[in-house]
Chain A
Amino acid sequence: MNLEFLLLSGLKVIGVFALVMPMIAYSVMAERKISAWIQDRIGPNRVGPQGMLQPLADGIKFLLKEDFTPGHVRKAYFWLAPAIAMVPAFLTMAVIPFGSAIGNQKMVIADLNIGILYTFGIVSLGVYGIVLAGYASNSKYSFLGGIRSSAQMISYEIAMGLAVIPVFMLVGDLNLSKVIEYQSNHGWLILYAPFSFVIFLVSSFAETNRLPFDMPESETELVAGYHTEYSSMKFALFFMGEYANMISASAMMVTLFFGGWTLPWFSEPALANQWLMGALHIGVFITKMLAFMVVFIWARWMLPRFRYDQLMDLGWRRFLPFALFNVLAYAAWLWMRS
């Protein structure tokens, strides 16, 4: 662990952070704009040219709002919960290879050989933020939101975990860089494991608490669910956490099923300059990711919300057996082939 490694890792952390934070801000903006287009409205267009500075205004508003802590809450947990909700979303991004290489540096913060296990471990932590918020708020709506959330996220994590097993059976490695390498040689994994992708996509909706799975929040039933009692920057942290989760879920889907930073048709673009190619790969990755962000946003404005029991039913009685069967089918297929 020399100085150069520390310096470069630090640079990558800052780089990713500097990229993700504006992405969060602008996905909120995109959410508002896309919903406006879907609903035949105009959307925010007052702040800056074409309303492009709206995220800035939103941010300032969050900062300037009174940070009110109700008297009946459990203070320590109440303060802790937003942070716990926000941090895991960022931590997952550490293992995601967002580009090929610039110079001799691989464009991934931590090139872990157990990448996916780390991801699932961290994602599981996300539920604590919401459960803690629901518990600490000491309010009935928050409480119901927290309970729903814990049940929902745990159930769908199982389906999600099972869904990606075939992918790693095909690739033969847990390292996400190896997954991308495999895809650049053999083609995108969605072609080999479409069912895994479907389960993973739906579970991602559930994991990120987005409609149609926004049980913990379900604003027309539980007012605002687990963050009913939160205001100002603490609320903003939950809010940002949700979008950060969407970003990392999109990044995971791109990495696992859509070839990561590789281009679909010509895997070796004839670019002499290594730096330019590295930048291009990062651009490709981000473009694919944004496409998934749009899917997340689009689905939210098109669908009604599941009911809690229907959601659990879908998770345990449909997806879990389906995912298990999927794993077995791939195992059998690989065994026959070998």
Chain B
Amino acid sequence: MTSPAPVLLEATNLSVSFQTDGPPVRAVKRVSFEVRKGEILAIVGESGSGKTVSSRAMVGLLPRTARIEGEARIDQTELIGLHGEAIRRVRGDRIAMIFQEPSTALDPVRTAGWQICEALLSHQNISRKEAMARAVELLDLVGIPDPEIRVHSYPHQLSGGQKQRVMIAMAISCDPEVIIADEPTTALDVTVQAQILDLLHDLRERLGTAIILITHNMGVVADMADRVAVMFRGELVEQGTAEQIFNDPQHPYTKHLLGSVPRLGGARPATMDAVAAPPVEAELALSVRHLDVFFPGRIGSPPVKAVKDVSLELHRHEILALVGESGSGKTTLGRCAVGLQLPTGGELTVLGQELRGIRPAALRALRRRLAFVFQDPASSLNPRMSVADCISEPMRVHRTGTKAEREARVAELLDAVELPSDYANRYPHELSGGQRQRVSLARALVMDPELLVADEPTSALDVSVQAKVLEVFVRLQHQMGFACLFITHDLAVVDLLADRIAVMRSGELVELGSREEVLRNPQQQYTKDLIEAVPIPDPVVQKARRDVRRGKA
């Protein structure tokens, strides 16, 4: 980069505070950054870092309670303080936005074409008919098949990826100078994410649009960004080229963040590598034979086949990772294993007990030896029970132990999940997401289960917190030796802890094998696609992978 392109959008000392019932909350503190023509600037941060707020402040999309100070300029136009018609002319025409959740960012009662036309007609003096023709062109440009038909579709008739493409079509409709993409792929499956990122990359190259990419995913950053700005609790702690940030981070937060990101194909941390009890081949914790799970469809439509003819086995002391995208049936299978869902057909044997047709009393007895960890830390603990009560509930249910024994067990488990013992008297809302997941884990382990099903236990957590939870999890599995069905969509996490991996897609089992086999030498095309689509948090590696993908395409 010998002659840097001209600066397009520039924020200087931008601060945002919100008036609340209490004292004002400062969400963004004196943040400065710039983006040049044709450049992709990634603003990276975890939840609450102020990355979204700062970008929305520039286009006046914050609620009335926000107070904005500082400057933000596009070319010569000062944006802060613009009102009504003046800011409206900027939005969509000069600065466009793409949102995180395409299914809520599209008006559900308007067709895709209607909404694209609306964007066009708001800024250009063209007829409705011309706008419609342009909408079809745009849908074609963002890679939607049969654009003439899709232009008349309502959002609920489109897939998640298609909806995000419609959002992108809307964003580029008026040839904006800058696109702010706020977590554009977070709500999407990894293979769809790769396609959307390719599309954005492509648009930047073809149209020369500058992109501000807001994300928490370091893999996406490495894949896309020219320059990176790292935000932490409202402040911009570090800024530089992608290479600088990844290879030579300066701020302790950046270092911590990069250290926490699990890497597909990366080395396992020493703490996770020591295998205490090797899997026992002969004993099965879970055996699934030709399992079908169907849900009744709406009146007049066929049943939904969530799981189709799946067979797999889980040995004692083993971690089997169940991997797949949304709708793959992985969660349904996991729920079957603990009797939360009844199978439609096939055999399901848990710890030697056939689950189909089991009596309620027998199921309750069996459940002493089973446990489940849920995804959402916000709702996995009863808000009205103290941490100690939450953890010891299974003991009370099964009437084991005296009060003193239960207390001792709670203290022991809190220690095991590395929480201070005084947390026993706290309530869930006083804990952070990561701490709550550790309490969930403690509750799951209180009866010394032989089989644990963990459903995306870390997906709702920030990366820097996830690392800790995973570390605790693996250590306890090694110590206690329970068999584990670990359900996740994140291949990097799988690579950290799984013994074997099962890949599922649309209810069917695609591939099953050891971690090495599946991740390093996949046999099925879908598995290969899945691995290919995961962005690696390393700009150099990721660029090489992208070039390979381009060459193939």
Are the chains A and B members of one assembly?
no
Residues of A whose CB lies within 8 Å of any CB of B are none
